[in-house]
Amino acid sequence: MQDAFDFSVPEVTGKSASGPAAADRTAELRVLLDRYAHAYYVCDAPEVPDAEYDRLFRELESIESTHPELVIAASPTQRVGAKPLAAFESVSHLTPMLSINNAFTAEEVEAFDRRCRETLLLSDSAPPIAYACEPKFDGLAISLVYENGVFQQGATRGDGTTGENVTLNLRTIRSIPLHLTKEAPQGRFEVRGEVLIRRADFAQLNAAQEAAGEKTFANPRNAAAGSLRQLDSSITAQRPLTFFAYGIGEAAESRTTPDTQSGILDWLSSLGFRVAETRALVQGASGLLSYYEQMGMQRPSLAYDIDGVVYKVDQRELQARLGFVSRAPRFVIAHKFPAEEVLSRVVEIDVQIGRTGAVTPVARLEPVFVGGVTVTNATLHNFIEMARKDIRIGDTVIVRRAGDVIPEVVSALIDRRPLDAEGQALYPLMQCPALCPECASHIELPPDEAVARCTGGLVCPAQRKQALRHFASRRAMDIEGLGEKIVDQLVEAGLVHSPADLYTLTVPQLSVLDRFAEKSAENLVAAIQQSCHARLDRLIYALGIRNVGEQTAKDLARYLGSMDALVQADIATLMQVPDVGPVVADSIVSFFAESHNREVLTRMQAAGVHWQDLPTQVVEGPLVGKTIVLTGTLPHLSRDEAKALIEAAGAKVSGSVSAKTHWVVAGEAAGSKFEKAQSLGIEILDEAEFLKRLQL
Ligand code: 5U1
């Protein structure tokens, strides 16, 4: 049950001389309707019959239609009604929406608790850390921005830095308050949480879709995602979406902000948000593990899907001291439930060639429903792994799928293997082909690697198709309408060899493709042209350089500032970029060493693709080229402050000590890094000496 909720609304300012009674009545009706909606949608405890709610709602609509000056954005009547959008705008998050690290075993949870204690320098005799625990909703992460208590803007997580503006759709979700209680912070206030569809609502939605001859959804998460990405908010309004709040953005700091995560959840509840009823405050690792066990038991009877639980260090001051590791906060971990496993049969084993030439054996399966979707293909990872597990055509196999993860074959039930008359397995173990089935280039298995690769590069149509799909994908160049089937046709028809060819495609060329009407051709050419105005980091990511994901592309753009600088960078320069190590640096240098890759960029530019260089954040300052490791607690600087100073001085912070480390900056209770630095003869500095070297 939620806490008491104060239903007073922001004052109606538009009183007309002729309608003070109408203004009073609208205010009164809004208070009542908000209260009843909160009871119904947030507390699951309706206070009045639906007919009474509808009667009051119609009365409010009627007054507002005769007194339009009384309409306010936060009125319950104003949830739906805007015209469909042409596209969603991008929104930069006030503070990044970070991801969280996962734990899968009790040992990993114990290690998390131990790491927190060590980083906070708690002695063995210190009391256990208090943790706020919550279910991990299987929905979509959302940010809601309130301005003086009134809902202004809502966005999807997107890549964590930039999401899509889905405000109009979020306004239709009844458990998202359009205005908050008077206790809400003034100014900007950001609430974060998850949008989902409850199981019972999902069943009803699919039944209604089926009855209307519309497509049904594979699982509640897909239904929620599809509903939230509707350009027409009147469609979203018909979908039974629910919002659960789980935190606040940093902009929300105010004097009234509680100093614990558990306090924040209670506070969000009192402000009108739905928060997990099954939240708990526990002590230490044993408390975490018993919460996990309890939630595992409750999981089947919960109203919504969850894929694990989330543990957060409760005290926010301790959270701040713990800081971050590689873009995930150290104070939080998601303890995932085991992935669902089912049995199926391998009908065929095919070889798939990935974007970077990786050769992956893929099992074609008898269809099986697992982890919320019907699965017909599952990865066997690589030929070495497949041989180790001895998986063959005809085998009955265990198939596993968790969340968004690609389904995989876990193992074969060998005693169910079909045998011939002599008792021999009907099928031999499949070997990795010597030649690529797509382009007949040689397949290589580099020493010390498990993954074989086709050496065909962009000569290989499979690699070309994958590279183009990646280039056009939403997080890369975001070319609407350039889907898998069209890419396949473009490559097979010989119209497109590299991403640069996309920019010279014409409507007549596209119109000859299978089932491609002139209008679709025009739309695709327009979408391709729209992508000409690119963002540097997205373009870097779109190139599909091995080991360069979205975040690395962002770091490269931010620290090198231009494509020219990236193309020309040598290993040493690249390794000064935060989180770029020798493997990533080598991939980048090898990519641009290929003249055909450089040519693609030149041809794209010639065809009109342009991007803006960024002011570089690098690599200036007194410590350029140095790699520094921090260990222990410094007397004055927090970990984040020390890191910021190092990066501002042009040096790089590394998490581990190696022969390439220049200095180790050590504070109190420095551990194994200190010892390793000593054994390698690396210079160890205290805070004062470190600040001196920074020339501060
Ligand atoms: N329940 C819950 N889910 N979840 C997801 N809490 C929570 N916190 C998150 C995420 C990504 O991030 C925190 C860092 C705010």
Q: Give 136's strand partners.
A: 308
Using the predicted structure, report yes or no on whether residue 2 has a pLDDT greater than 80: no
Report the range of poorest mean pLDDT among 96-105, 250-259, 650-659. 250-259
Give the pLDDT score at 568: 95
Say which residue, 620 or 124, is predicted with more confidence.
124
141 lines ligand 1 (CB under 6 A): yes
Give the pLDDT score at 16: 43
30 lines ligand 1 (CB under 6 A): no
Give the pLDDT score at 3: 44
Calculate how far, in angstroms, residue 330's C-alpha sits from the geometric centre of ligand 1: 12
Using the predicted structure, report yes or no on whether residue 563 has a pLDDT greater than 80: yes
Give the pLDDT score at 4: 45
Cα angle 573, 663, 556 (rounded to 5 degrees) comes to 25
Calculate how far, in angstroms, residue 201's C-alpha sits from the geometric centre of ligand 1: 24
The mean per-residue pLDDT over the stretch 578-586 comes to: 87
Calculate how far, in angstroms, residue 192's C-alpha sits from the geometric centre of ligand 1: 8
329 lines ligand 1 (CB under 6 A): yes
Using the predicted structure, report yes or no on whether residue 7 has a pLDDT greater than 60: no
Pick from 500, 433, 435: nearest CA to 464 = 500
For residue 334, give the 3-state DSSP assignment.
Answer: strand
Using the predicted structure, report yes or no on whether residue 270 has a pLDDT greater than 80: yes
CB 471 within 8 A of CB 465: no
460, two tokens? 């290989």
Q: What's the CA dihedral at 28, 33, 35, 38 to 10 degrees?
A: -160
Calculate how far, in angstroms, residue 40's C-alpha sits from the geometric centre of ligand 1: 25
Give the pLDDT score at 13: 45
Cα angle 423, 425, 426 (rounded to 5 degrees) comes to 110
Using the predicted structure, report yes or no on whether residue 114 has a pLDDT greater than 50: yes
Residue 696: pLDDT band (50, 70, 90) is low
pLDDT per residue over 642-667, tens digit each? 877 887 777 777 777 888 788 999 88
Residue 15: pLDDT band (50, 70, 90) is very low
Residue 650 φ/ψ region, left for φ over 0, alpha for ψ in the -120 to 50 degree band, beta for the rest:
left
Q: What's the CA dihedral at 82, 85, 88, 92 to 10 degrees?
A: -40
For residue 142, give the 3-state DSSP assignment.
Answer: strand
Distance CA 194, CA 366 (A): 34
Q: Name the pairing type of β-strands 533-534 and 610-611.
A: parallel
Calculate how far, in angstroms, residue 246's C-alpha sits from the geometric centre of ligand 1: 6
332 lines ligand 1 (CB under 6 A): yes
Mean pLDDT of the chain: 89
Q: Which atom of ligand 1 is nearest to the CA of 332?
A: 14
Burial of 602 (0-12, 13-18, 19+ CB in 10 A): exposed
Give the pLDDT score at 14: 42
Residue 85: pLDDT band (50, 70, 90) is confident
Distance CA 245, CA 242 (A): 10
- What's the gap between Cα 442 and its chain centre? 36
Residue 679: pLDDT band (50, 70, 90) is confident
430 lines ligand 1 (CB under 6 A): no
559, two tokens? 């620290």
Q: Give 341's strand partners.
A: 400
The mean per-residue pLDDT over the stretch 182-201 comes to: 92
Using the predicted structure, report yes or no on whether residue 624 has a pLDDT greater than 80: no
Using the predicted structure, report yes or no on whether residue 12 has a pLDDT greater than 80: no
Q: Mind telling me the catalytic residues?
A: 136
Distance CA 310, CA 241 (A): 22
Q: Which atom of ligand 1 is nearest to the CA of 246?
A: 6
pLDDT per residue over 444-456, tens digit each? 998 888 899 998 8
Using the predicted structure, report yes or no on whether residue 26 has a pLDDT greater than 60: yes
Give the pLDDT score at 687: 85
Pick from 72, 232, 77, 90: nearest CA to 168 = 232
pLDDT per residue over 516-558, tens digit each? 888 889 999 999 999 999 999 999 999 999 999 988 998 899 8
588, two tokens? 């980048």
Using the predicted structure, report yes or no on whether residue 295 has a pLDDT greater than 70: yes
Calculate how far, in angstroms, residue 98's C-alpha sits from the geometric centre of ligand 1: 8
Residue with the nearest Cα to atom 1 of ligand 1? 136
295 lines ligand 1 (CB under 6 A): no
Distance CA 176, CA 74 (A): 11
Residue with the nearest Cα to atom 8 of ligand 1? 246
375, two tokens? 């699965």
Residue 362: pLDDT band (50, 70, 90) is very high
Out of 310, 319, 330, 333, give the residue to mutate to test ligand 1, the one with the largest number of ligand atoms within 8 Å of its CB: 310
